[in-house]
Chains A and B, each alone.
Chain A
Amino acid sequence: MAGELASPAASRRPTGGGSSRRIAALRLLRRRLIQAVPLMLGVVVINFCLIQMAPGSFLELMTAENQVSDPATIELLRKTYGLDDPVWLQLVKYIWALVQFDFGFSYRQNRPVIDAISDHLPATLLLMVSSITLALAVGVAAGVVASMKVRTFWDSLVSVAAMFFFAAPGFWLGIMLIVLFSVKLGWLPVGGMMTIGGVGGGATGAGGVLDVLHHLILPTLALGLFYAAIYTRVMRSSMLEVAQLDFVRTARAKGLSRNQVTIGHVLRNALLPVVTILGVQMGTVLAGSVVIESVFSWPGVGSLLFDSVSSRNYPVVLGIMVLGSLVVIAANIAVDLVYMWLDPRIEIR
């Protein structure tokens, strides 16, 4: 059997092995981090442009609540952002401030913007993670069931349900859930994250965790079902497509049952497009949580944004945009790593 040539791909790099995958993952991480820099720069520039386009001076914007009369503070701002400098220098200074995580000062809360946002961030991340988990679990399961029972009653049922949840506005769905489960049935709380004056030890004990989970159910449904509908549709068509591929027939020829083939071979390949879409949608999930948080008085970044928008607290609004983008980039990198773990064919150039 001599003389058989390996493919160029095989001869160039070591085949398989956990360590080479790990190196590739690190390489991916490095590349994504490098790519993130211009991306963040772009976000900041857009931010800066918005400020420039706004009616009123930068100073007025940054102190828009007009409660700042202290000349010393105004002088400080003037210095920090170099308001007497030419525009390009202002931009550089703005970027420099942001690099140091100086997002400005929120006079309403009387604390730095970054502190206000990071206080609210965990609640939003919790809602995002739970919604994405729900969406993936429901979407993948429903998509698999629909594809295995294709053109049956169950398939139609899943498709119709997905169509509806794909079209229902999240905030409206949230209100309807409140009407049903809180007002009519009284099973779940109307809003908030914890019962006020809650159970025993507050948020720290097991009771506190359960209390938060109890409050988490409805917002998670309102935010997650839309994405569940998307993943269901993608998963279904992806399962059907993969099921046509040659290797599925090979797996059947090995003596595996239909279900074994579906779970063991089709599923993982069919997941890839779902993961791709998940990555693309990170930004919209975060944005969607803004509305859902406002419906359920969930104390996250969305609520903060809503308050800040209503009170024209620009530093906070702009800070949320920058930090939100940062969260999206981080989530995207995480999704890329998951994709790489799922698909060994991904090579890092």
Chain B
Amino acid sequence: MALPLDVRDLSTTLFTRRGEMKAVDGLSLSVGAGETVALVGESGCGKSLSALSIMRLLPDPPARIVGGEVLLNGRDLVVLPEEGMLDIRGQEIGMIFQDPMSSLNPVATVEKQIAEVLMTHTELGRGQARVRAHELLELVGMPDAGRRLDAYPHQLSGGMCQRVVIAMAIACSPSVLIADEPTTALDVTVQAQVLALLKKLQADAGMAMVFITHDLGVVAETADRVVVMYAGRKVEEATVDELFETPLHPYTAGLIGATPVPGAARAERLADIPGMVPPLNALPQGCAFAPRCPRVMARCRQERPKLTQPAPGRLVACFAAERG
């Protein structure tokens, strides 16, 4: 049986005035039913663009998918015409975004925004859609759901808005859920609630989930497997336990080292890795991480390391890791 989501060698390029930039470069990613795969990396490393590429929601221009496949239950979305994608989005793949307050239309009621998904993809009429929207709000744990139906987004808190977005994303029971930093913009206490909610919904419906985050603490709580991205490429893939036990890529190690102990104040900056993600139009010739890498070798600056498989189910792209 085909996997719910199987991304193979996906490449997305930004065509800008300052030249072409490979924002996503040969990304492969597979997610099984009921599985959560975390996509991890600093901001600007291509996580969000990967998600938007899967949804085919890239701003075009400048971004375009230039290669690879996105197999959804065995069907390639990259070659699907736009009309076909309309049936996929919201029905087969649900998506949750980073900033819940700005993800909702400020001049439409909660009910209208949820009912819209239902009426687009199902035969439900206006009245039935309202009833279903009410059920969905209760399902996502919206306090006082009945009264919130007629509320506008500005009357809700960030956490409540994110619940509405989640309700919209799962309204048509999609087989894949993509969550792009769903908790980043929320208060810490609300973060935990939303994470727990997502886990529960996923377990109940057996959805495949792609969880995008820069926060390894969140990864440890939610993910089964982790894909680490740097400068548009996958640099490491492992199960959560393996990754935290023995990170192979120096970048992963740096990320883990930079993650504060649970309970301590969260640091946005990854203090242990000096420097910044290089701009995509100025990538070094060899390994993109070489300028910041503590284990850099001469070869790293010449040649780009390919993904190798040191153990079953593990991938890493690093010369230093190959040597052990």
> Are A and B in contact, CB atoms below 8 Å, in the complex?
yes
Interface residue? B283 (CB, 8 A): no
Q: Are B160 and A4 in touch, CB under 8 angstroms?
A: yes
- Using known A-B contacts A246-B97, A247-B104, determine if residue A15 contacts B143 with beta carbons closer than 8 Å: no
Q: Are A254 and B90 in touch, CB under 8 angstroms?
A: yes
Question: How many positions in chain A have a CB within 8 Å of any CB in the partner chain?
Answer: 33
Size band of the interface chain B makes with A: 35 or more
| B224 CB contacts on chain A under 8 angstroms | none
| B158 CB contacts on chain A under 8 angstroms | 7
B25-33, B81-89, B204-212 - the one binding chain A: B81-89
| A246 CB contacts on chain B under 8 angstroms | 97, 99, 102-103
State how many angstroms separate the Cβ of B65 from the closest Cβ of chain A.
Answer: 16
Interface residue? A257 (CB, 8 A): yes
Q: Are B90 and A255 in touch, CB under 8 angstroms?
A: yes
Candidates A5, A15, A245, A268; contact of B151 at CB < 8 Å: A15
Chain A residues 208 to 233 lying within 8 A of chain B, measured CB to CB, are: none
Interface of B is mostly: helix
| B154 CB contacts on chain A under 8 angstroms | 9, 344-345
Q: Are B151 and A253 in touch, CB under 8 angstroms?
A: no
Cα distance A13–B95 when bound, in Å? 31
Interface residue? B294 (CB, 8 A): no
Interface residue? A342 (CB, 8 A): yes
Cα distance A256–B95 when bound, in Å? 13
Interface residue? B157 (CB, 8 A): yes
Q: Are B103 and A250 in touch, CB under 8 angstroms?
A: yes
Q: Are B87 and A5 in touch, CB under 8 angstroms?
A: no
Cα distance A4–B109 when bound, in Å? 21
| B103 CB contacts on chain A under 8 angstroms | 246-247, 249-250
- Using known A-B contacts A1-B143, A249-B57, A250-B104, determine if residue A6 contacts B160 with beta carbons closer than 8 Å: yes
State how many angstroms separate the Cβ of B280 from the closest Cβ of chain A.
Answer: 21
Interface residue? A252 (CB, 8 A): yes
| B152 CB contacts on chain A under 8 angstroms | 15-16, 344-345
Which residue of chain B has its CB nearest to the CB of A266? B105
Interface residue? A3 (CB, 8 A): yes
| A345 CB contacts on chain B under 8 angstroms | 106-107, 152, 154
| B143 CB contacts on chain A under 8 angstroms | 1, 4, 6
Interface residue? B248 (CB, 8 A): no
Cα distance A7–B155 when bound, in Å? 7
Q: Are A265 and B121 in touch, CB under 8 angstroms?
A: no
Candidates B91, B107, B147, B190; contact of A16 at CB < 8 Å: B147
Cα distance A256–B88 when bound, in Å? 10
| A17 CB contacts on chain B under 8 angstroms | 150
Interface residue? B120 (CB, 8 A): yes
Q: Are B193 and A9 in touch, CB under 8 angstroms?
A: no
Chain A residues 1 to 53 lying within 8 A of chain B, measured CB to CB, are: 1, 3-7, 9-10, 13-17
Cα distance A246–B155 when bound, in Å? 18
State how many angstroms separate the Cβ of A12 from the closest Cβ of chain B.
Answer: 10
Interface residue? B168 (CB, 8 A): yes
State how many angstroms separate the Cβ of B130 from the closest Cβ of chain A.
Answer: 13
Residues of B within 8 A of A (CB): 55, 57, 82-83, 86-91, 94-95, 97, 99, 102-110, 116-117, 120-121, 141, 143, 147-152, 154-160, 165, 168-169, 189-190, 193, 197
* A–B Cβ pairs within 8 angstroms, 19 of them: A4-B193, A6-B160, A7-B158, A10-B157, A13-B155, A14-B147, A15-B155, A246-B99, A246-B102, A246-B103, A247-B102, A250-B105, A251-B105, A251-B116, A253-B94, A257-B82, A265-B108, A343-B106, A345-B107
